[in-house]
Amino acid sequence: MKAKDLAKVPQNRSGLLAGGNWIIDQVKMVDVYPQRGHLANIRSQSQGTGGSPYNVLVDLVRLGSPFPLSAAGMVGDDPLGREILADCQARGIDTHFLNVNPKAPTSYTDVMTEREGGHRTFFHARGANALWRGTGLDFNRSKARIFHLGYLLLLDALDEPDAKYGTRAARLLASAQAAGLKTSIDVVSEDSDRFARIVTPALKHVDYCILNEIEAGKTTGFNLRNADGRLDTTAVRHAAGALLQCGVRELVVIHFPEGGFARNRKGEDTWQSSLDLPVGYIGGTAGAGDAFCAGVLLGLHEGWDLGRCLLTGVCVAAASLSHPTCTNGVKSLKAALALAGKFGLRAPLVAGS
């Protein structure tokens, strides 16, 4: 930011503005995921929230967020779009920057969740999300402290090249920082070679980079798991360091089923094991990453130490895992934190953690 712009930065900011993918999830519980051409039985069906901003904001509402929450993005002028708007307004989420496009349908995902273990497979319709460029999102009119953007790689217009910033998403994040907001990103997990081209340019304009181990590995080129599937904690550290070298200003957080890891700009590392959940507890894994992100962002907004942020993240993720939908398992912050006492933690990820 140029010195002449400093005077424009509001000194008193509070709240989270979350933008990106707005999705309705249609969650089907199936007895088994079938081979091509075979049949699976749908045992139950439910509808829920989907997409990074929608999940994170609803999780924060359910946790009892003490700060204002705002939405940014695009939905269609259809029943699903109107449902999202009404749901946000009922929960007290400001929808001023959540635009309606009459020419595109609201995005939805069919989530096929296996009853045994909660593993899920997604069939996604990009809809209006693919057209959102952040047009009309005036960060100087927002009082939010943090702008969270997700998911990179699943926002077609924002993933497009930009001559100056590398991608349109990077330009949008730079605009948020210039207005005085802290920025945060999340990325979708996909099997592609697009990470370096689309994610890396954005990192120069990110304060908090919150990814899972697959996304961190794809972005940096590190394999974060050994051949036997165990987490490679040394590779996790290397990946976090590489993300900071790519330009992340303050903090990299990498989460995985075993827990979470954070490294700040000073090179300080923090590890946190996940909860030791009993067999049969997991109703579905969809939304657990966003729940972890919501817990961490809550702590970062409130100025908590990283240990407390990560513990909150794994507890909120554990709460989310109890239900097939992305957010219905999350209750109050007190209830989420109580799960740590109820179930205990897994063994430390590294000695002394």
Tell me the C-alpha distance between 307 and 290, whole Å: 18
Percentage of the residues of the chain whose pLDDT score is greater than 90: 88
Q: Quick one: average pLDDT of 49-62?
A: 98
Q: pLDDT value at position 9?
A: 35
Percentage of the residues of the chain whose pLDDT score is greater than 70: 96
pLDDT in tens, 254-293: 999 999 999 999 999 999 999 999 999 998 888 999 999 9
Q: pLDDT value at position 353?
A: 57
pLDDT in tens, 122-172: 899 999 999 999 998 999 999 999 999 999 999 999 999 999 999 999 999
Q: Which residue has the tokens 């091509």?
A: 36
Asked if the model's pLDDT at residue 352 lies above 60, the reply is: no
Residue 339: which H helix or E strand, with range? helix 333-343
Q: pLDDT value at position 118?
A: 78
Asked if the model's pLDDT at residue 3 lies above 80, the reply is: no
Of 192, 132, 143, nearest in space to 168 by CA = 132
Tell me the C-alpha distance between 323 and 59, whole Å: 13
The average confidence (pLDDT) of the chain is 94
What is the model's pTM?
Answer: 0.93
Tell me the C-alpha distance between 115 and 86, whole Å: 31
The 3-state DSSP class for residue 278 equals coil
User: In CATH, what number does 14-343 get?
Assistant: 3.40.1190.20
Q: For the chain, which residues make up each domain, given as ranges?
A: 14-343
Rg (CA), the chain: 19
Strands ordered across the beta sheet of 42-50: 42-50, 23-30, 107-114, 120-125
Confidence of residue 119 (pLDDT cuts 50, 70, 90): confident
How many Cβ atoms from other residues are within 10 Å of residue 156's Cβ?
Answer: 14
